[in-house]
Chain A
């Protein structure tokens, strides 16, 4: 089978000719529709966009000319032929005037018909191509008209500041963001931009103006502007070339990088704190080993053993610290999937108390528990919730006074399970309480000396609670005690 070469309509009241033509053209690869009289032809031709129509002139009901006229009116791109045995010059002229492409005199040979149809199909293609080109051209013209105002609107609405300077230093273009970022009250086209812009930007602009050849790359600088709050800007200056390659001006893009700077400072502080926390135990262990190695000190075996014991204690706390750091990184990156199961907070409290039995006994603490009979299960990761409970409970032990008390209250309200852990410990000052959840923050005073910890525990607890859309609150009175309240949603969704 050939691919379809086109859609053809044959309108003829003579059955034999109609069907013969149909068969012939179908063999040539056309799709052919036939109409047996004028009104049928008119209906088909006006409701479908045929490539080519061959219309018999003389039909009993409606004249071929009328059919042609109707088709050309509704589908001007359908290429129409008039076919008739009564060929005359006049009808040919009349038919072309109405819109016929050609005239096929009857009787016609198969070769003659297919030749004419092929011409018609070619014509149809030309018409459609021309129409498509015309539509594209119109669209392009419309786009061109819109382009300028659209580009303008885009540049005006972006957050980055845009400033264009001519080679003579005159301001050629700016947007509102540029005014805002530079903290100016206004800018005026044509004024000397170099007298307004910060020195650091001027330096780069001048460098571009005075360089021998134009390099099509940008030069960036970071600058800080002190207004009510210090803001940091990045200014990227790029030369604009003329079509002939000479320098037309410079475009300056200003971006607000204050937030990046703030994060960079936090990161640097964190890194140096981590470095300090990691190095402290290493330095202690290395110091002990240096002493043990040194024969001139004549260390007793007992002392050596004591130092080794203390070294291994320090290494254990170093391992705890590294594990805590890994936990923080895991919670931040959310790399580990939570294993969500039904968690019974009551069970976790009991097993944690069991685990901490020794520490509780050492300080001779009393535990008082108050829980409602049926505590709702929460959907959470068992290990994470255990981490929260054990951390807060071990703080309540570590920072408690000897013979002190710990009150544990487990309750539920609406969608939350509420756990309160109250101790009768050393408490916190307000300033200490505010920094409680920061990394490496540990209240340091005469009461906390000798209490060990990584300084990361509560920071981890807060991250876990936050990850369940829970709430952790702390209430404390210096010298009296501290209460932690943890609210966890029963169903986090």
Chain B
């Protein structure tokens, strides 16, 4: 079974994010880049599916040369091959452009199921997965916390908000987006890390995918990066005892903040 897993290389969750002086983006220096955490759940379910049904897990990512380190990380976690879509037009594109590039690669390689994370923790767009499904003409299921497949049909549990969960079923091929709670990603042990160095990692540009720069020209233009808006200085409530502080808090919430 051909299993595609789309990943993105993003700053670590702990990273201190600094905005560049000209507002064109964030300063990448000193930042550790990882496989976006939700993509880690996607990779784990992809590898588990391969282990159950026999097949091959291929990683796909759009990025510059630095992403290859994270592709090797993914190979060490059980993926068999990695495809690096390396093209400046794709890297500079928007979600739809990236989705077009990924969909083209997945289609060319005959993927039968695609796993992705629900969002990349850098831009937090929550778009690419559904767009890939639309471009491929496949169903997708979002925010999946439980998943099972027999190779031709699948059952997935999705979180639709308000604490409500729905169990849905459908046919493959499909795009499944992983949410936290789907699984506990494995850690790469040293033998797997060594093995990963010899696994195939290939580079493709847009032309190799049958796409032109125009095909991925972005509609979304991002600019004027800045830090989060300032919060006015807060205060610690003083009082003789706990009861006095509680009374004062309620008064402030009612009369000053007016939120009651």
> Are A and B co-members of a single complex?
no
Interface residue ranges, B against A (CB under 8 Å): none
